[in-house]
Amino acid sequence: MNLPNMQEARLRTDALVEVIEAKNIKSDRFKNKKYFIRTYGCQMNVHDSEEIKGILENLGFKETLEVQDADLVVLNTCAIRENAHDKVFGFLGRLKHLKKDKPDLIICVGGCMPQEESVANLLKEKYPFVNIVFGTHNINDLGTLILEESKKQLIEVYSIEGNVYEHMDYVRDSKFTAWVNIMYGCDKFCTYCIVPFTRGKQRSRKMAEIIKEVEKLKEEGYLEVTLLGQNVNAYGKDLDSDYDFATLLENVAKTGIKRVRFVTSHPWDFTDEMINVIAGFENIMPYIHLPLQSGSSKILKLMGRRYTQEEYIALYNKIKSKIKNVSITTDIIVGFPNETDEDFAETLKVVNECKFDGAFTFIYSPREGTPASKIKDTIPLEVKEQRLYKLNELINSYSLEHNKKYIGKTEEVLVLGPSEKGEDKVYGYTKTMKLVNVSNAKDDIGKLILVYITDAKSFSLDGEKVIFAKN
Ligand code: SAH
Ligand code: SF4
Ligand code: F3S
C-alpha cells in the first residue's frame, strides 16, 4: 500500500517525468462478465473513464447500464467539494446491499477521492467490501489489480505523479467528438483547491504525440476534439521545449479536423498569441471557459489566483474584441472564508460588466490539506446560499439575453444524439457551445448541419434543420 501524503505531494514536484507505454493487457478471463461504471467530476474524469473502459473491455468485460446486472462496478470519483464525497459514500451504501446478494461482485473505487489520505484510510477501515482502491496516477494498473483477484482489499494509490502514459486503448463515449489530454495535473495551487494534490504536478504530453492522436481521430471520422487540461494555457511550461499552448493549438488546427475546443484556460496564462491563433483559425471554436472565481481583488489574492478584478476584465474585453462572436463562460465560488457583502457585490459587478454566456457557480467547500481550509470561516451557510441564489438569478438572466440573440439566425450544429426533449428531436452544439434541440434531423447524428434557431431558453436553444431546396 502506498498512500499519498499532501505535504509530500507538494515536495515531490521535482520528480522526473517518464513517458510510459500503456499496458493494454488483453485477456478473455472475464468474457461473459459485465461492468458498470459511474463517473463523477470533471471532463478529466470522464476521459479517464474512457481509459478504464478500455482496460475492462480488453479483459473481456462488456458494459451494462444497470448496476444490478454488473459483475464489476467502478466508481471514478471526484474530490472537488464535500458533496462529491457524499454522493460516492451514498452509492457505496447501495453497493454494500447489492453485494449481500452477489458476493462475487468486484467493487473498485478510483479517481480523485482515494488520492486523499483520509479517504483511502476510511475505505480501508469502514468499507472492507470494496475490493480494489486505485488513484489517478495508476489507472494503468487497474487491469493487473483485477487479474490478481485477491480476497483481501487491494489498495494501490500512488503519490508519485511523475508519469505520462501513451497509447492507451480508450473506449470513447462518442464517435464524433473526442477528449484529448494535453497535460495532467496542475501547478497553480489555488488556495481552495484539491486538484494539485489529487492529480499531482503539471505534466504536458509531447506535442508530436498529441498531433498524432488528433490525426488518428480525424482518420477515424471524428469531427471534433477537445484538448483537456486543468490549465491548458500553461501547456508546455514543464517541458524542455520551445513550444507553448498557442503553438500546439495552431498545429492541432492545421490537422484540418473540423472543430477544435479546449478546457480549461486560466486567465493568468492567457497570451496574445493564443488569442491571435483562436481568432485566426476557422476550425478553432469561438468559445472560452474563463474561470473568474471571485470579482473581489482581495478575495482573488486570498485564493492565490494571481490576477485582479481589473486584469480579468481587461483580458475579457480583449478576448471579446479580438475573437468574432466569441462566447465566454466562467466558474464562480461564493462564500470563500471571510467574503464580505462588499466582496460579493464586487463579484456581481464583474458579472454585470462581463455578462457571461453562462457560469458554473459553487458554494465554497473547505478541502482538507488546502491552505484555505485553515482560514476560520465565519460566514453562515444561509448567507452563502442567499449569495448563490442571487448570483444564479443574475447569471441566468444574462444567459437568456445572449441566447435570445440567436433567434432567427442560422447556426452550424454538430449533432451528437437523440434529444431528451422529445422523440423526434436530436441535440447538438453550436460553434459557441450552445446546446440546441433540433427538429427534422433524426438522420443527422454525427453530422455538421445548419440549424435555424426558433426559440431560446436560459440553458438551450430550439431549432429546425435548414433544408436547401434542390434546383
Ligand atoms: N482548473 C480549472 C477548474 C478546476 S475545478 C480552473 O482553474 O479554472 C472546477 C471548479 O470548481 C473551479 O473552477 C472552482 O470554481 C470550483 N472549485 C474548486 N475548488 C472548490 C472548493 N474547494 N469549493 C468550491 N468550489 C471549488
Ligand atoms: Fe484548482 Fe487552481 Fe489548478 Fe484550477 S488552476 S485546478 S482551480 S489549483
Ligand atoms: Fe473532481 Fe478530480 Fe476533476 S477532484 S473536478 S474529478 S480533477
pLDDT in tens, 141-162: 999 999 997 778 899 888 766 6
The count of structural domains within the chain is 4
Domain ranges, residue 208: 174-261
Distance 81 CA to ligand 3 centre (A): 9
Both 42 and 134 in a single domain?
A: yes
Nearest residue (CA) to ligand 3, atom 1: 78
User: What integer is the mean pLDDT of 100-106?
Assistant: 95
In a domain, 273, yes or no: no
d(CA 103, CA 99): 5
* pLDDT score for 162: 66
Name the band, by pLDDT with cuts 50, 70 and 90, for residue 468.
Answer: confident
Both 252 and 393 in a single domain?
A: no
Both 25 and 84 in a single domain?
A: yes
Does residue 264 have a cis bond before it (omega within 30 degrees)?
yes
Average pLDDT over all residues of the chain: 93
Helix (H) or strand (E) holding 284: none
Find out whether the beta carbon of 323 lies less than 6 Å from any atom of ligand 3. Answer: no
Find out whether the beta carbon of 199 lies less than 6 Å from any atom of ligand 3. Answer: yes
Both 192 and 105 in a single domain?
A: no
Both 88 and 143 in a single domain?
A: yes
In a domain, 270, yes or no: no
Please determine, for residue 10, whether its predicted confidence score (pLDDT) is greater than 60: no
DSSP 55-102: HHHHTT-EE-S-GGG-SEEEEEE--SSHHHHHHHHHHHHHHHHHHHH-
Domain boundary among 355, 376, 404: 404
Q: Which region among 5-19, 124-138, 400-414 has the lowest average model confidence (pLDDT)?
A: 5-19
Distances (CA, A) of 336 to 279, 293, 295, 364, 421: 35, 10, 12, 5, 37
* pLDDT score for 12: 44
| CATH number of domain containing 87 | 3.40.50.12160
Both 370 and 454 in a single domain?
A: no
Both 216 and 182 in a single domain?
A: yes
d(CA 377, CA 302): 13
Distance 205 CA to ligand 3 centre (A): 19
Both 376 and 461 in a single domain?
A: no
Both 48 and 184 in a single domain?
A: no
Which of 21-25, 36-40, 194-198 is most confident?
A: 36-40
Both 313 and 374 in a single domain?
A: yes
* pLDDT score for 55: 97
Residue count of the chain: 471
Find out whether the beta carbon of 112 lies less than 6 Å from any atom of ligand 3. Answer: yes
Q: Which region among 36-45, 399-408, 462-471 has the lowest average model confidence (pLDDT)?
A: 462-471
* pLDDT score for 471: 55
Please determine, for residue 215, whether its predicted confidence score (pLDDT) is greater than 90: yes
Domain boundary among 124, 156, 188: 156
Both 314 and 387 in a single domain?
A: yes
Find out whether the beta carbon of 186 lies less than 6 Å from any atom of ligand 3. Answer: no
* pLDDT score for 416: 97
Both 253 and 318 in a single domain?
A: no
